[in-house]
Structure 1
Amino acid sequence: MNGLSASHQVAPPDSVQHLSFRVRDARYALPIELVREIIEYGQVTTVPMMPGFIHGVINLRGNVVPVLDLAARFGFELTQAGKRTCIVIIELNLDEQQQRIGLVVDAVDAVLDIEPGEVEQAPPFGAGIRTDFIAGMARDNGGFTIIIDVRRVLSLDDIRQLSLAQQAS
């Protein structure tokens, strides 16, 4: 045998890997290339004068990382940490600087291979969140997974607030 196990799956050549997770009862995903790590929900230090959807900051190996609650950003109540609640650490290139941001999610599900043909445009209604936050809807056996547009979820104003949160701690 060539060293690969028979169960090893190879992603279709045009597919893009996404991390799927849950916020409330909906399934969401974002491109895996943005994800740096997934950590257990732990001690988050609140920072005064921040918008309600910013939980605060965490110390990640000596670096201050702002933490945003996706549920609150989507218009739901703040997340109450449970057994599966975790923080997805993403990295974005903002103003020619790498910015790490933590996203609080209810649970992480899996890494999905999503082919472009499986993605539909966001409907103008009914997704439960602002349609400008949605990059597309991926069809699968269980219905749809909402692919979020992280740059829209984090508007420039929000990014400035996150920078302030980092500096304040």
Structure 2
Amino acid sequence: MNSYFEEQIEENDTISEKYITFYIDKEYYAIEIKYVLEIIGIQPITEIPKTPEFIKGIINLRGKIIPVMDVRTKFNKEFVQYHERTCIIVVEVDRVPTGLIVDGVSEVLKIEDHMISAVPSQEHEHTYIKGIGRIGEDIRIILDCKELIDGIEIY
């Protein structure tokens, strides 16, 4: 993981209530830090045929093959060319690593339970939204990492 984020986490030994925040367009999202293995720059991606549009392919990360998903595309936003701030958040759910391509990573925040509101009524479409975090006047859409990558199979 990026040393900047490691320093923020070391301030308090616990990762409970800690979230990594990232952005897509001008919207900010958060996922629990416990799922994050590391944050890397955009890398060459090998495309895999007959996968959903949001699955960009696989990367070779130090000898490990990891599927990568473009979160922007998953959220039905217009594709933009990757740039110097584009990065891959490598998460691990149920011992399976997956890369999440995002426009950029913001910071590590502590979002306590009382700062999280329930998701407004939603149909079955976006079950990967876990809650809405209030940080002062700002909000972060908290994603359920397990639901976000559920069903990603490339081979």
- 1:140 pairs, out of 135, 151, 154, with 135
Q: Does 1:39 align with 2:40?
A: yes
Give the aligned partner of residue 153 of structure 1. Answer: 148
Instruction: Quote how far apart the aligned CAs of 1:110 are.
Output: 0.4
TM value normalised by structure 1: 0.78
Give the aligned partner of residue 103 of structure 2. Answer: 106
Distance in 2 (alpha carbons) for counterparts of 1:87 and 1:142: 28
* 2:32–2:145 Cα contact (<8 Å) kept: no
| Aligned partner letter, 2:134 | R
Count of equivalent residues? 145
Matching of residues 12-27 of structure 1 within 5 Å: 16-27=17-28
Higher Rg of the two aligned structures:
1
Q: Secondary structure at the match of 1:152?
A: helix
CA RMSD of aligned residues (A): 2.2
TM value normalised by structure 2: 0.85
CA 1:45–1:142 in 2, change beyond 3 Å: closer, same or farther?
farther
Of 71-80 and 24-33, the range deviating more from structure 2: 71-80
What 5-or-longer segments of structure 1 have no aligned partner?
1-7, 165-169
CA 1:68–1:14 in 2, change beyond 3 Å: closer, same or farther?
closer
| Aligned partner letter, 1:36 | L
* 1:44–1:58 Cα contact (<8 Å) kept: yes
